[in-house]
Structure 1
Amino acid sequence: MQAQAVAELRVDEVLDALHPSFASGTHSAATISPTLLVTGLAASPGAASGLAAIGSQAVLDLVAAGNQVILIATETTPADVAAMGLSAGIVTARGGLASHAAVVARGWGIPAVCDAREVIVEAEGFWVGDVHIANGTPISLDGSTGEVMLGDREVTSAAPGELLSTAISEVLGWADRIAAGRMAVLANADTAADALTARRLGAQGVGLCRTEHMFLEPGRLEIVQRAILSSKDMSSTRADLDELVTAQRDDFSALLAAMDGLCVTVRLLDAPMHEFLAGAADAVAAQQWREHNPMLGVRGVRLGLLRPEIYAAQVRALALAVSNRLAAGGDPRVEIMVPLVSTASELAAAASAIRSAWRETLETVDRRGVAAAEAFPRIGTMIETPRACLVADRLASEAEFVSFGTNDLTQLAFGFSRDDVQSRVIEPYVAGGLLATDPFATLDSDGVGELIAMTLQRAKSVRPDIRSGICGEHGGDPDSISFAVAAGLDYVSCSPYRVPGARLAAAQAVLRGADVMMSE
């Protein structure tokens, strides 16, 4: 009976319960009836209605006046995060399912439409064809269909704590028992608030804490900018790094408290320079970091090895947070993940530096928090490059776990820019039968899946008990989860609001596998 209920519940039913939707056929009599303006990429589910706000400053101004707003931008960067958090919905003219706007919106449960290529953004409004929509004009969007409409519509809200009915919650409990031991569902969570939401929705831990996202709140971005731009010869460098340590120590402490007793996987800084140095106060220094192809430039472990003091500061902050939580009687459990590794020597150098920074930090703290923290946290790596897949046996000599960053792995396997090809290539390819599905939405099992299978085989030849999972956006997609179960991965990690659907999809994949075995 329980297995049948799990098999019959649809993932979209669960997701619909988590997000706001339009009340059928309703709009304000004071405004234009909703008229379709443009259809873009359905990047984050749910419905929203509000005043069009072009750019972050317009959002801040309209919200300060008591309005609900829809942020309109060509694309978003970390500098826009404060405005994004105040918006009821987000529309961007560019960017795919793994773009900054899409990832942040899904993480926060904000409806979003991306890659709406017909939208031309100007300072005081935007154009769709020959229609001009000025700042402050009522618009609506449906992040589940990709539709953006002129005019407002009544939205029925879903609030945390009232997200899932008792019946759905009970079925998801059965799903967890079915998937137990085969597939764990973790969350991508960067703040204590994200973690609490994920835990409330059934996440079994944090599979990806993107530390660069901890600097997205007002006043925080400048901290990481100064740390990157500071010269090793400048007397201000130590102060910049100390500020980074203090900020991250407090953030880690709150995150570990929210996930007390559950594992939190912390990814060290992976900040594309074009995003994190945009608008930096020291424009001259920032210019020295300018890159022609930023997503393939000084990111991840490369930054950590070129500027080792930055990764050391992050490890110090995490060690202090763990020590403080232990001293307070908490049960912090952490792993450290090194991003964008392509060579075994990179990982070995990074792992050595991590252990050194951890050891040195613990020598300076209150002994109450040291004893249980003296064992080094598990160190692993994010598999994002095809070369990392090929040398997985050598990586496994250092890595105690591997987590597939399938957004970048897909991008590099296909040679697709994940932010540029959505409407220009992916849509016509799918429509013409050249691709079966969008590989950024559903994992490409024939290509990227083969890279994952190769990685597991080679890594397990050296470390049979190596832990493995997916932490890209595919971690919340039912078909991709089915692949993960069949491939023998241990977990998937996804945005908090995708966790309930992932729990159901994992159990359904386990049930399908059991049916196949019985039929054989």
Structure 2
Amino acid sequence: MTKRVVLLEEGTAEMKGLMGIKGAELAALLQAGWPVPAGFIVTKEGCRAFCTRLAHLSAEGTQEIGSAIQHLEQQSGKFFGDSLTPLLLAVRSSESSSRNTASHALLHVGLNDVTVEGLAKQTNDRQYALNCYRILLQDYGQLVYDIPYDLFEEKWEDISILDEAKLEFAIAEYKRLIEERGRHPFPQDVHLQLKEAMRAVFNETQGAAVLIQVMVNGERGDRSGFGTVYSRHPGTGERGMTGDYISTDASRRSNEGLDQLRNEESELYGLLQDACGYLESHTREVQEIQFVVDSGTLYLVEISEARLTSQATLRSTVDLVDEEVITKEDAILRIQPWHVTELLKASSTLSSELQLLLEWADEMKGLTILSNVDHPKDAVKARALGAEGIGLCRTEQLLLSASRFPFVQKMILADSEAERKRGLERLLPMQQADFEQLFEAMDGYPVTIRLLDPPLHELLPDIERLNERREQLALRKLEENNTEVQELEHVIHRVLELHEQYPLLGQQDCRLGTVFPEIYDMQLEAIFRAAVKGIRQGLWVRPEIMIPLVGHANELQVMRDLVDHVADQVLGEEKRHCLYRVGARIEVPRAALTAAPIARHADFFSFGTDELTQMTFGYSRHHTEKPFLHFIESQRSLPSNPFQVLDIDGVGQLVEMALLQGRIRKPHLKAGICGENAADPASIAFCHRIGLDYVSCLPEQVPLARIAAAQAALLAQKQYPNENRQDGDISTIA
């Protein structure tokens, strides 16, 4: 039968699953001869078995815990509940608290109206004993009955004054508050106290093992004190022990930090340094040690993995690799997403530690990390953050800027092809300049340019505003043959002609290029003109042209013929230096289901997971995101927002199916995803597993994606050690 109560001296470092992290580490320290207060662990199974539905300790539990307490009594020479020499206990979780949660603990368990007087005689300090009792009552009320600390503080006007009369009054008031709010009096039975403390800690930590230790006194007496040390600085990660120490010398209660301990108790200070080094070498983590000095004797009370800032995490991780405590692979696996995002928020540049970690990550990852850009300046930022090319340039963001949008509208509303071409001639040099800057920023790296893809209605003037303008002109009683009136009527007529009942399912993406081929002609001419200029300037230009919203192989074939035709016209003799690619944006389910015939005409697949998610689920990402998020959070109908974390079971299956079918037709077909969820670590792990070549994310997400891609590769190697992923230069295959 699995043990439900384990003495610390019986435990080992390998028993973390049974004893919890703290318990196992303290047990290992005790076994190695370090000074640790005696104690025992009540395991998860023990807590569940001992505390019944009515929260009473079972008879079996009473016996097992009673035996453990007797062992502590023998070691300490004190007795639990004794009126003369009371044994007091500290009850806390045996698991390390998370980054944003407090450590739940109850100290001085075993104090009551009788034993408090025994503690007063033991310490020859009744004021100290009463204050310990007051603290126990306050913490007990908060942890067991969730009574806010504020209510206790209302009973305690000036906490700086600790006379016996005031402490006795506070104790009486605290007990009254617990009985009123908790509907049960504070238990004078010390065994009931322990049971309630154990149950409360177990519940607060969602079922973690409970650590129970003998209380050691560092709060009073000569050569006594308490403090916390870190094996490295928790804020910066700097090497060397740091922390604080509060001496409780009656003549001068002070906080002079560790300097006082080093000067007055150099042997204990050295012992703490040795403990930090020992723990780091065994746990391979930066450690936090809470310690007590009791009359010149050091006790290591609690040890845990230190909670570090992002900066400290990265610096200490790099240093631990340098010291050969951990490997580069270990270093990459311990980096969390928030480490990277916090650092980048604090500074737009990469720290030396993050830069080094990213270099290590690049050596390990299989996926190529590209970036989505809306403007040439985004490309510069993406390269600075390590992007290996552009996976998606949204040309609509370039064309629909305030300075260019009027020209786009005028071109769309034109009555004739000749008039439309005149409008496009104004836009051509603007687009060419954009692409020239992109090719310059990404010299030698692929630049994937998505042709114009917004729905037609987004390019048209607002019909309601046009009608309002017509009403305003009517009020002015202008003649019908007035030029302004005629022009307005013409625009309204043209907008109504182009109006679509269901615009999101109408003329957009490659269908827009079919209806208005001159638009794509202009964009392609701008791309290839920019390519020619870049080549002649000595740049390695690698354009990859993405055809948006392909739903049928014939659509891609038509668009590919157009691309090749314009390329032949513009590139001329430079065509041999411009190995452009043409690919399909897979963002509707039909394209995923018919990937094999589409692959015949494609050099690459780009999975638009935002649109594919939208069309697969039937959610509108833009119009219902907030209600949707509220719905899934309140109803828990989905494990996560599929626009942020790829829906592997649904959308992911479409991606994997399309990839498989596409590569049956074209084995070296390049493929990747572009979407909001492209930087999510779980989504990146899925992309690595199914064999995609790249993910493309926002520039600021590139460092995070590089780390996540390396983690995905490392975890895959651990899970499938005999599988080798064949990696190549994804931009030269297909």
Residue aligned with 2:345, SS = coil
Identity of aligned residues (%): 39
> Aligned-pair distance for 1:371?
4.6
Partner residue in 1 for 2:537: 328
Distance, in Å, in 2 between the alignment partners of 1:507 and 1:295 is 38
Partner residue in 2 for 1:258: 441
Q: Which amino acid aligns with 2:380?
A: L
Q: Which amino acid aligns with 1:326?
A: I
Partner residue in 1 for 2:364: 178
1:221 to 398, 402, 405: 405
> Aligned-pair distance for 1:227?
2.7
Query: What are the equivalent positions in structure 2 for 1:105-504 lying under 5 Å apart?
Result: 158=347, 160=348, 163-179=349-365, 182-233=366-417, 235-278=418-461, 282-363=491-572, 369=574, 371-373=576-578, 375=579, 377-504=580-707
Number of equivalences:
371
Distance, in Å, in 2 between the alignment partners of 1:495 and 1:249 is 23
Q: Which amino acid aligns with 2:512?
A: L
Distance, in Å, in 2 between the alignment partners of 1:335 and 1:449 is 24
Q: Deviations over 1:454-504 (max 9, x none)?
A: 101111111000000001111111111111111110000001111111111
Residue aligned with 1:185, SS = strand
Distance, in Å, in 1 between the alignment partners of 2:653 and 2:594 is 14
Partner residue in 1 for 2:345: 19
In structure 1, the gaps of 5 or more residues are 21-157
1:10 to 336, 340, 358: 336
> Aligned-pair distance for 1:284?
4.2
- Contact 1:183–1:491 (CA<8 Å) still a contact in 2? yes
Q: Which amino acid aligns with 1:338?
A: I
TM-score by length of 1: 0.68
Q: Deviations over 1:8-27 (max 9, x none)?
A: 1111111112225xxxxxxx
Distance, in Å, in 2 between the alignment partners of 1:195 and 1:412 is 29
Q: Deviations over 1:411-465 (max 9, x none)?
A: 0001111123323234323432311111111000000011011101111111000
Distance, in Å, in 1 between the alignment partners of 2:604 and 2:422 is 34
Residue aligned with 2:331, SS = helix
Residue aligned with 1:17, SS = helix
> Aligned-pair distance for 1:224?
2.2
- Contact 1:215–1:223 (CA<8 Å) still a contact in 2? no
Distance, in Å, in 2 between the alignment partners of 1:170 and 1:292 is 54
In structure 2, the gaps of 5 or more residues are 1-326, 467-487, 724-734
Q: Deviations over 1:315-355 (max 9, x none)?
A: 11101000011111111111111000101111111111111
Residue aligned with 1:265, SS = strand
Q: Which amino acid aligns with 2:661?
A: R
Q: Which amino acid aligns with 1:380?
A: G
Alpha-carbon RMSD across the aligned residues, in angstroms, is 1.9
- Contact 1:14–1:164 (CA<8 Å) still a contact in 2? no
Distance, in Å, in 1 between the alignment partners of 2:420 and 2:564 is 22
Distance, in Å, in 2 between the alignment partners of 1:217 and 1:263 is 25
> Aligned-pair distance for 1:283?
4.8
Distance, in Å, in 2 between the alignment partners of 1:275 and 1:412 is 19
Structure number with higher helix proportion:
2
Distance, in Å, in 2 between the alignment partners of 1:166 and 1:325 is 33
Distance, in Å, in 2 between the alignment partners of 1:510 and 1:169 is 19
Q: Which amino acid aligns with 2:379?
A: A
Structure number with higher strand proportion:
1
> Aligned-pair distance for 1:288?
3.0
Distance, in Å, in 1 between the alignment partners of 2:363 and 2:635 is 41
Distance, in Å, in 2 between the alignment partners of 1:440 and 1:478 is 14
- Contact 2:412–2:420 (CA<8 Å) still a contact in 1? no
Distance, in Å, in 2 between the alignment partners of 1:504 and 1:396 is 31
- Contact 2:409–2:459 (CA<8 Å) still a contact in 1? yes
TM-score by length of 2: 0.49
Distance, in Å, in 1 between the alignment partners of 2:599 and 2:576 is 28
- Contact 1:362–1:370 (CA<8 Å) still a contact in 2? yes
- Contact 2:411–2:419 (CA<8 Å) still a contact in 1? no
> Aligned-pair distance for 1:410?
0.3
> Aligned-pair distance for 1:296?
2.1
Partner residue in 2 for 1:57: none
Distance 1:217 1:424, change over 3 A: closer
Residue aligned with 1:332, SS = coil
Distance, in Å, in 2 between the alignment partners of 1:200 and 1:312 is 32
Higher relative contact order (CA 8 A, sep 6+): 1
Residue aligned with 1:410, SS = helix
Q: Which amino acid aligns with 1:225?
A: Q
Q: Deviations over 1:165-198 (max 9, x none)?
A: 111111011111110xx20000001322000000
Distance 1:353 1:436, change over 3 A: same
Distance, in Å, in 2 between the alignment partners of 1:239 and 1:423 is 42
> Aligned-pair distance for 1:370?
5.1
Distance, in Å, in 2 between the alignment partners of 1:197 and 1:506 is 20
- Contact 1:227–1:244 (CA<8 Å) still a contact in 2? no
Distance, in Å, in 2 between the alignment partners of 1:227 and 1:452 is 37
Q: Which amino acid aligns with 2:341?
A: L
Distance, in Å, in 1 between the alignment partners of 2:436 and 2:664 is 36
Residue aligned with 2:639, SS = coil
Distance, in Å, in 1 between the alignment partners of 2:707 and 2:571 is 41
- Contact 2:367–2:692 (CA<8 Å) still a contact in 1? yes
